[in-house]
Amino acid sequence: MNEADEREIRDVLARYTDLWIRHEMDGWGALFTEDCDFITHQGIWWRTRAENVAGHKDVPAPVLAQKGNYTQDVVGVQAVTPDVAIVHTAWSWPGHVPSGSAGPEDRRGLVTLVMTKAGGRWLIRAAHNTRADGFPPPAGASG
């Protein structure tokens, strides 16, 4: 992969993070192909840009107010072909208070993305978000 392509990929992911933090989901969605796949950290699978954007817009106001604590860093870019790349990012959301929670959680995770170059532009074709800090046990679960 040449330096210009890697720099453009990193720029796309910087815009991705900025737009996500500001909750500008229509602009964020424009970074994805129309036929993108997005698997959330909860295992929800959206199969189009429209589903992905709609799902990410549906966020309670108290969660939106906390997005400023979120960070994401590109930790790897690897070319598969000249027009396809695998990208890994690491994200962190310290002090996140989920809806209905009694207290804050320090969340972190990884996102694996497949990016494709079409029309001279890198877009996200697929993304899989995985929490690396684990999930709390279901209510009433023991052990």
In-domain check, residue 141 = no
Q: Which CATH number covers residue 92?
A: 3.10.450.50
List the one residue out of 77, 109, 76, 81 whose CA is nearest residue 94.
109
In-domain check, residue 143 = no
* Structural domain span for residue 112: 3-131
Give pLDDT tens digits for 44-85: 999 999 999 999 998 888 888 889 999 999 999 999 999 999
In-domain check, residue 92 = yes
- Residues 18-47, mean pLDDT to the nearest whole number: 96
In-domain check, residue 136 = no
In-domain check, residue 41 = yes
In-domain check, residue 142 = no
| Burial label, 72 (beta-carbon count in 10 A; 0-12, 13-18, 19+) | buried
